[in-house]
Each structure stands twice: as C-alpha cells, then as structure tokens.
Structure 1
Amino acid sequence: MKAIDPKALFRLSVLGPLVSRERLARGELQQIVRELAQREYDIPGSRRRHLGEKTIEGWFYAYRRQGIEGLLPKPRSDRGQCKLPLAVQQAIVAAKQDNPRRSIRQIRELLEAAGSVAAGSLSRSAIHRLLQQQGLSRIDGSASQLEEKRSFVAEFAGSIWYGDVMHGPAIPVAGRQRKVYLVSLMDDASRLITHSAFCLGETALDIEGVLKQALLKRGVCRKLVVDNGAAYRAQTLQGICVRLGVQLIYCRPYAPEGKGKLERWHRTCRDQFLGELDPTQIHGLDDLNARLWAWLEQVYHRTPHRGLGGMTPLARYQQDLARIRRLGPLAAQLDRLFLHRVCRHVRRDGTVSYLGGRFEVPYALAGKSVQLVVDPHAGRVVGVEDAAGERIGDATPLDALANSDRKRHRPERVPTAEGVRTGPNRVELAHHQYYGDEEV
C-alpha cells in the first residue's frame, strides 16, 4: 500500500474546517479561508508559519476535484532558477543583508523608490524565492486572533468522534510504579465512549491502538476531532484516517473548550471510576483496563445523561444504528491499514535493523534503501516494499547459526570462446608497447 505524501496530509489537515462541512453558505468559503490564513502552521519542509488565502482556496478546489491526489505537491518547472536580472538580484540580497528585519514588501518598495525596478514590476514570489535560495528568508509571526465559539451537538451518532488523553494514576507495572495515560474516543451525539484504554504512554501508537478497537466495536466515524499534540499530528494517523474516509480535524492550540464534552467525561471518570477504584486489586495494566471496560459497559453507558434529555449514552447511540458506517470490506484489511512503514538501509550482508533486532531481506536489495513494513502493535516485521508501495520481498529474523551452513549464491562468470578474453587487457597492451609486438 503506497504511503501518502506528508505534504498532502498536511494540506488536508489545513482544509479540515472546509471539507468537513456538507455544504457552505454563500460567502462562507471566503470567510473560512480568511480565518485559516490568519492561523499559524507547522508547514512541512518550510520555516514559514502562515499560508496565503489563494493557496488555501486552491487546495480546497483541488481536493474537491481529485480528493487526496489533488493535494500532492507538483514540482515547479523553473525550480532553482531565478529570472530576475543579476543587478536586481544583488540589490534584493543587499537590502535584506543590510536589515534582516525588512519584509518582502519593504524590500520591493525600497527598490522601487531607488529606481532599481519599475513600480509594480517585481513580484513578491520572485523576491521570496531568491531570499530562500540565499538562505535569507525569515519567519514572520503574528498574534493569534480570537475565534467565535458556539456550543453544538452532532445530529446523528457516528458523525463526530472526539479524541484526547488524560493523565492517570501510577500503578505497579513489572515490579515498579509507572504512570499511565487514559486514551479515549467519544461519540459527540450520544456521549458514548467508542473505546478507551489506559496506556503506558500518550504516543501516536497508543492512540492508533485505541482507534483500531473503536472501529471494530462501533464502526467508522465521519469526523475525528483531536488536539494539536505531536501524537495526533503523526503521519501514520493521518494516513489511516484518509484511507478510512475520516476527516481528521485539529482543535485550535490552547483551546480545550473545543472538546468540552470529552473534558466533562474526564471529570466523570476521575470522580466515579478512579475515585471508587480499589488500589489493592490493581497489579498491572490489564487489571486496570479490565475494570475500566466493565465500568464503562455496566455503569457509564447505562446511566441517564442530563445532556441527552435523560437518555443513556447506549440508548442514544443505538437510536442511530442504521446510520452508522460499517467497516464492510475494510474489516479484512484493517490490520493492513494500521501497518507502519519505516525507511531502512540494507546492509551489505542483506540485513536491516528494527527495534533492536536484525532481519534478512532479499540479498539483491543490499546497499539500497527500502520501506520496512511493520506491525508496531505486535512488534512484528511483515515485509519489504519499494518507494511506490509495491511488495518486493519478505523480512525474516536473522538466524546467524543457520547461515553458517547455508550455501551462498555466487554470480556466474560469462564464458568466452575457447576461454580467450576478448576485451582490452592492460598486461598485453604493456607487453606490446615494451617489446613492439605487431599483435596484442
């Protein structure tokens, strides 16, 4: 399965507030695009923090036409070239070096005032590309602007899930106390916890594990709302959501009110579950999770919820069962969707390393870079793929002892007529030059 370009995943995450809407009112596209252009982003492969309105709008229409394929970066035909006259290039670089805080607009106005260029003849993009080539571009920043926030609820169960992590207690694990983290996914319309589990970390791998179980138990949501933490920004999670047709939406940093219902669930969990927990019964992570899951199914999901008009989360969720997106044919491929791909260089002995272990791959790949396909949840290596996502072989644990009796493959020599070499020979050439033989 071909990996999805990280820049395309980033662009899709920027478009979240647009593509997650079923329809846009008149003038709403420009308003949302304007708001998105005012935000700061961690742009892959760039030191900039802001995007232009035309750029975002172009991505939106490209996604509508071609889906994720429309967001793939297209290389410029003039990449690495600057068409500005040499004198203008030197003037731009000098203006920036003279005052590194000068913006592109200030540089353009300075050159126009000095008569170096005609008014309006110098584009911002030309200046930007030149400064970038010279390593003189500077990160610009601006203060965050307030965004209007309003309470809302999804119309149907399965429309929106929320994901977040809560810091949990310290429990005994392998003979010592370890802090645990509660990773949860909640359905917005019903307040049902599609899956939740205590984990030893809050990494992307922990979040993916909880998401996989939620999909198996509760079907596929249409939108997944998460915060801006590094774990949720992982390319693997973004790729999984793209392949499942789930819109991954990021809340504004430092704005927990965007997931108020999940924050309320955390408080309920602390008060009613952790507050009632008997520590003497907890001897490890399995004990803690077993009690969490029993409490969820027997207590939380069956307790009337004031925000649901007295209905229980389970009853509200079951009310929309006909609308829930089933996994369907994807169920058989679910394990494959959650596989990771890590780049590895194949050693000269035909092995690669993963999680401290060594694995043998086809010897023809020695010296090349490959994509190692792994199941990180099971710590298992599945196989090897090329850059296009095509399978090119297996990866098996290295058995150095067995290799001691293994017959090596040796390249065959190309025979020549009567064993006589037909190509150039330095020894015979030297002999001819020294003794003056007529034939070599």
Structure 2
Amino acid sequence: MKQIDKTALFRLSVIGQLVSREQLQRGELQQIIRELAQRNYAIPGSRRTQLGEKTIQAWYYNWLKGGIEALVPQTRTDRGLSKLVPEVQEAILNAKRENPRRSIRQIQLLLETSGVVADNVLSRSSIHRLLQTHGISRMTGSASLLEEKRSFSAEFAGSVWYGDVLHGPAVPTPKGMRKAYLVSLMDDASRLIAHSAFCLGETALDIEGVLKQAVLKRGLPKKLIVDNGAAYRSATLQGICARLGIHLIYCRPYAPEGKGKLERWHRTFRDQFLSELDASRVLDLSDLNARLWAWVERIYHLAPHSGLGGLTPLARYQKDLVKIRTLGQRATHIDAIFLHRVSRFVRKDGTVSYEGNFFEVPYELAGQTVQLVVDPHAGTVAGVENQAGESLGLATMLDAVGNMQRVRRKPQTADADAIYTPRIGPNMIETALVKYHGKKGA
C-alpha cells in the first residue's frame, strides 16, 4: 500500500474543517479560512507557525480538484538550478555573506544601484532560490550590525577541546573494502591532538570511543565543542560528558568558523599524511591507525607551530600540565562511565538478547523489562539495572549445553514441608477388592 505524503496529510488536517462540510453558506468559506489563518501550526520543515489565507484557500481548491494527491508538494523541475549568469550569482552570494542581515529586497537594490544588473530585471524569486540552494537564505545576526567575528584562543590547555570528523580512505575489512572516517579531538590552546582514530563510521559510538582514549591520555577538558549533528546529540554522549564534568557545547548551524583551528589541522593532515599514504599497502583499519598515531606523535606534535609562537603542540601542552584536570577517582571506574543502558524484555527462560547473543539474568526477572548495562565496543553485557539505576544482578553468556546438567529450582507449594500423602485404611482396601472381583466376574 502506497504511503501517504506527510505534507499532504498536514495540509488536509488544516483544511479538515472545510472539506468535512457538505455545504457552505454564502460568505462562510472566507470566514472559516480567516479563523484557520489565525491559528498556530507545527508546519513540517518550517519554523513558521502560521499560514496565510491565500495558502489555505489554494489548498482547499486543490483538494476539490484532485483530493489528497493534489495536496502533495510539487517538485520543481529546475530545483537547485539558477538561470542567472555566474557574475550575478557571485555578486548576490557575496552581498549576503558580507551582511547576513540583508533582505532579498536590499540585495536587489544593491545590485541595481551598483550597476551589476539593470533596474527591474532581477526577480526576488531568483535571488531567493539561489540563496536557498547555498543554505544562506535566512537572515542571521543583529538587525543593525554585522556579526562580529574575532580570533580567540583558550588561555590554558585543557580549557577547550574541539571534535570533528573527516572522511578518509577505504580500507580492507573481512566484509570487503569500507570507507574510514577520521574522528579527532583537538585542544584549543596547544593545538595538541588529544586523540584521533580512523573508524568505520561516524556514529556516537565511534565518537565516544575516541573521547575515552583522549581523557585517559590527556585528562578532562572543561568544554567540548562539537558539530550540531545527530551523532553528537546522542543521549549516551551527553550522559558521558555529564558524568565526567565536561560541558558539551554545539556549534551554531552554518557556523563552522567556531572550529577553525581543527579545520586548519585537517588541511595539514591531508597535505602531510593522506597525500603520502599508499592506500594499496594498508592491511586493515588497525594498520591505518598505527600509521596515523605514529605521524601524530612523531611529526605533528613535535613540529613548531606559527600560531604558538614557534612552540610545538606538545611543548605548549606541557606548559599547563599543573592546570589540566585529571580523572582522579573516576579513573578507577572509567569503563563503567562509558557503558550504555539498553532496554530489554526478560524471556520466560530468564534470558535476554543483545547483539545476536543471549545472556542469562536472575530468573526472578522473567517477564519484566530491565535495563541491560552493556559495553557497546566489546558487545558484552555487564549486568542488569532497574529504571532507577539500581543493580538487579549480573548477566552471563548463555551456556545451553551446561544448563543440561544444571539443577533447576522446583516450584514451591504454599507449605513446602507439608506434602500430602493419602492414608490407606483396612476398609479402603476391602472396598477396592470387592470392586475388583465384581468387575472380573462380569
């Protein structure tokens, strides 16, 4: 069965009060449309909360002509394409980037007064489509001033770390060639790479693995600035940072300049490492990482940096060793901090499943939903907790063969010691013999 378009469903919900009426009285249509236009809506794909009267009216007449199929948004055949000449396109984009608060009308007037285009030739819709294609159609920043951007650097190492992902080369795996992603964490003040590793994905789990190694080697940062992507917004990463006392900060969308130092390191990495890498000689992911770590520790960390006054990243980092937060008591249970909790239902045989394997938990939990405490990197289960985080016991890998010899617990009666045994008296025996001989004679 074909799935109904979500936008069409939303539009139908808006005009539902109209389409459900068998007949509309004179003037009633416009009255209802005005009422609908005054309401607030959760509009799919938009930050706006209200709709115009003409928009609602158009949806209503479209529905009358073609039903719900007529409410499906029509994709333009020229979407993403601009008919403007390259020189005009460049002028529009430069005008918007120079002052993000400029409206379409302001850009139009600016190009006309500067002689880039003739008066009344450049349409506002053409400007809007071009800006939307490049992701800069919205107005941002102060209404009267340009957004102020200044270079800055943390005063001490360990104050601010940046995290980001870079697409890397393909590597051999047991399942064939797969793309690798470089996940990196950089210290702002020293430009030192707290840890960096090639992973087979750019998920929250990959980022958490790199963060764990980084804090083990370089201590705890006060702030960790990352992208606004879904992987960085995972509940598990947020929980880990909260337990470690790290303030997790997200960059504003379309503002990558907040991580300019890490972007600069990516360029250095491409120029000095990737350009010299012979991918055909890489054996697997671990071999690629071994090469990466050798280059970071022996080349990058020991090279003088112009932004550090000629100091190397390692030397600059070591100047602030006394100010860097250590793991302290957290080091004794660092593995537990990075464990995940996943919800599972305990089967009747006292087992739960995780990553294709079965684990035995306390039998009393059968039929309940519990939280498995798991190590997602090793694919193992450490124990079981309730919703409040209280331990309910251990979890062990299911040994079906061993369970053949295992002594099972028998169900208990109300009084286990009072086992019922019928008492047999002489009269009962005599009655039984009479019945037996009577049946035999018959």
**TM-score band (shorter)?**
0.5 to 0.7
Query: How big is the shift at 1:418?
Result: 9.9
Query: How big is the shift at 1:175?
Result: 6.3
Tell me the matched-pair count: 296
What is the identity, as a one-letter code, of the residue corresponding to 1:367? G
Return the alpha-carbon distance in structure 2 between the equivalents of residues 405 and 97 of structure 1: 75
Flag the 1:400–1:292 CA change in 2: closer, same or farther, 3 A: same
User: 2:97 matched to 1:102?
Assistant: no
Q: Where do residues 153-302 of structure 1 align in structure 2 (5 Å cutoff)?
A: 153-174=153-174, 176-302=176-302
Q: Where do residues 410-421 of structure 1 align in structure 2 (5 Å cutoff)?
A: 410-415=410-415
What is the identity, as a one-letter code, of the residue corresponding to 2:193? I
Deviates more, 1:392-401 or 1:336-345: 392-401
Q: Where do residues 298-313 of structure 1 align in structure 2 (5 Å cutoff)?
A: 298-313=298-313
Flag the 1:159–1:406 CA change in 2: closer, same or farther, 3 A: same
Flag the 1:101–1:186 CA change in 2: closer, same or farther, 3 A: farther
Q: Where do residues 15-94 of structure 1 align in structure 2 (5 Å cutoff)?
A: none
Flag the 1:100–1:193 CA change in 2: closer, same or farther, 3 A: farther
Task: State the TM-score, normalizing by the size of structure 1.
Answer: 0.63
User: 2:140 matched to 1:145?
Assistant: yes
Deviates more, 1:138-147 or 1:316-325: 138-147
Counterpart residue number, 2:376: 376
Query: How big is the shift at 1:96?
Result: 9.4
Deviations 1:237-291 (A, max 9, x none): 1011111111000001222111111111111111100111133431111111111
Flag the 1:404–1:268 CA change in 2: closer, same or farther, 3 A: same
Return the alpha-carbon distance in structure 1 between the equivalents of residues 34 and 332 of structure 2: 62
Query: How big is the shift at 1:405?
Result: 3.0
Return the alpha-carbon distance in structure 2 between the equivalents of residues 418 and 172 of structure 1: 67
Do the aligned partners of 1:339 and 1:373 also contact (CA within 8 Å) in 2?
yes
What is the identity, as a one-letter code, of the residue corresponding to 2:401? L
Do the aligned partners of 2:360 and 2:398 also contact (CA within 8 Å) in 1?
yes
What are structure 1's unaligned runs of at least 5 residues? 1-94, 105-135, 421-440
What is the identity, as a one-letter code, of the residue corresponding to 1:188? D
What is the identity, as a one-letter code, of the residue corresponding to 2:337? L
Query: How big is the shift at 1:407?
Result: 2.6
Query: How big is the shift at 1:137?
Result: 6.0
Do the aligned partners of 1:281 and 1:287 also contact (CA within 8 Å) in 2?
no
Q: Could you list the runs of 4 or more consecutive aligned residues of structure 1 that deviate by over 3 angstroms after TM superposition?
A: 95-101, 136-140, 415-420
What is the identity, as a one-letter code, of the residue corresponding to 1:231? A
Do the aligned partners of 2:169 and 2:279 also contact (CA within 8 Å) in 1?
no
Return the alpha-carbon distance in structure 2 between the equivalents of residues 148 and 404 of structure 1: 72
Deviations 1:194-214 (A, max 9, x none): 000000100111101100110
Do the aligned partners of 2:160 and 2:189 also contact (CA within 8 Å) in 1?
yes
Flag the structure with more relative contact order, 1 or 2, with Cα contacts below 8 A and sequence separation at least 6.
Answer: 1
Query: How big is the shift at 1:99?
Result: 4.8
Counterpart residue number, 2:338: 338
Do the aligned partners of 1:96 and 1:102 also contact (CA within 8 Å) in 2?
no
Return the alpha-carbon distance in structure 2 between the equivalents of residues 326 and 221 of structure 1: 9
